[in-house]
């Protein structure tokens, strides 16, 4: 059983690392075209067609990662755990690869675009790396017991803390651009337009200055509290198994 798990982990880790490098290579091409002088804020608006393709790329990436979870996990929680574990390895590898290829980011506090749906997510590189480490921890806390047919079932309170924490972290990533869109009245207008001069001016002149670390860490604390509950449950299952 142990050797089977180790073999499976190595395969998944290899897949996640390869996927992380592939994602970074795509970004290298995009930055070579739109940021030949090096990526930095304010952002440059890319053509609507390319933006749509980027959205599809992001969504297909999530489908690929979710497929690993669906194929590997035995339970719903196990599938979710494998998905998060793979996601965490992939995301960290992505930044390692960008550092190798572009010597970017300059530091862990360098700002980056993290995601584009439903609005642009931004934050220092350190923030998604912290999220990735948390995902890997969640994965291990469920993957190892599941391999022994000891299924960790997070309580309703634990799931509530995870969901609340994730929503708070999500808010910390999208808050800046959401407030920018609200201040410009684009939600009232039915959404931003790539052809609106005001929208172009707002996006191409905006430079983030201060990340909402307090909000982000509050979300992290809620999630870590749920992980503590799972640690105790995993230990309890181990004790029962040894009796």
Task: Specify the number of domains making up the chain.
Answer: 1
Q: How confident is the model at residue 4 (pLDDT cuts 50, 70, 90)?
A: confident
Could you give the maximum distance between any two Cα atoms of the chain, in Å? 70
- Whether residue 104 is predicted with pLDDT greater than 60 in this model: the reply is yes
Q: What is the pLDDT of residues 22-78, one digit of tens each?
A: 999 999 999 999 999 889 888 887 888 888 899 899 999 999 999 999 999 888 888
Residues 120-130: pLDDT tens digits? Answer: 899 999 999 99
pLDDT at residue 99 greater than cutoff 50: yes
Alpha-carbon distance of 144 to 47, in angstroms, equals 46
Domain carrying residue 123: 2-242
Predicted local distance difference test score (pLDDT) of residue 239: 42
Express each pLDDT in 144-171 by its tens digit: 776 666 666 777 888 899 999 999 999 9
Angle at the Cα of 38 from the Cα atoms of 32 and 40, rounded to 5 degrees:
120
Phi-psi region at 44: left, alpha or beta (left = phi > 0; alpha = psi -120 to 50): beta
Query: Average per-residue pLDDT in the chain?
Result: 85
Q: How confident is the model at residue 243 (pLDDT cuts 50, 70, 90)?
A: very low
CA gyration radius for the chain? 20
- For residue 150, what pLDDT is reported? 63
Task: Specify the DSSP class assigned to residue 212.
Answer: -
* Model confidence, pTM: 0.87
């Amino acid at each position: 059983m142990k050797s089977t798990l180790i073999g499976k982990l190595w395969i998944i880790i290899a897949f996640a690392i390869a996927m992380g490098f592939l994602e970074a290579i795509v970004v290298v091409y995009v930055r070579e075209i739109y940021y030949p002088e090096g990526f930095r804020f304010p952002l440059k608006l890319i053509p609507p067609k390319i933006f749509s393709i980027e959205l599809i790329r992001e969504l297909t990436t999530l489908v690929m990662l979710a497929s690993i979870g669906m194929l590997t996990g035995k339970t719903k929680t196990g599938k979710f755990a494998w998905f998060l574990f793979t996601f965490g390895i992939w995301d960290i590898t992505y930044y390692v690869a960008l550092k190798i290829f572009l010597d970017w980011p300059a530091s862990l506090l360098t700002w980056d675009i993290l995601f584009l749906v439903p609005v642009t997510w931004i934050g220092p590189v350190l923030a998604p790396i912290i999220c990735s480490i948390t995902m890997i921890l969640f994965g291990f806390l469920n993957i190892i017991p599941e391999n022994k047919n000891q299924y960790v079932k997070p309580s309703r309170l634990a799931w509530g803390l995870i969901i609340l924490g994730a929503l708070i972290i999500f808010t910390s990533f999208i808050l800046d651009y959401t407030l920018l869109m609200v201040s410009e009245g684009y939600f009232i207008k039915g959404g931003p337009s790539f052809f609106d001069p005001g929208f172009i001016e707002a996006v191409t002149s905006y430079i983030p200055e201060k990340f909402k670390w307090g909000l982000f860490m509050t979300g992290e604390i809620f999630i870590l509290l749920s992980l503590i509950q799972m640690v105790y449950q995993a230990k309890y299952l181990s004790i029962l198994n040894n009796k």
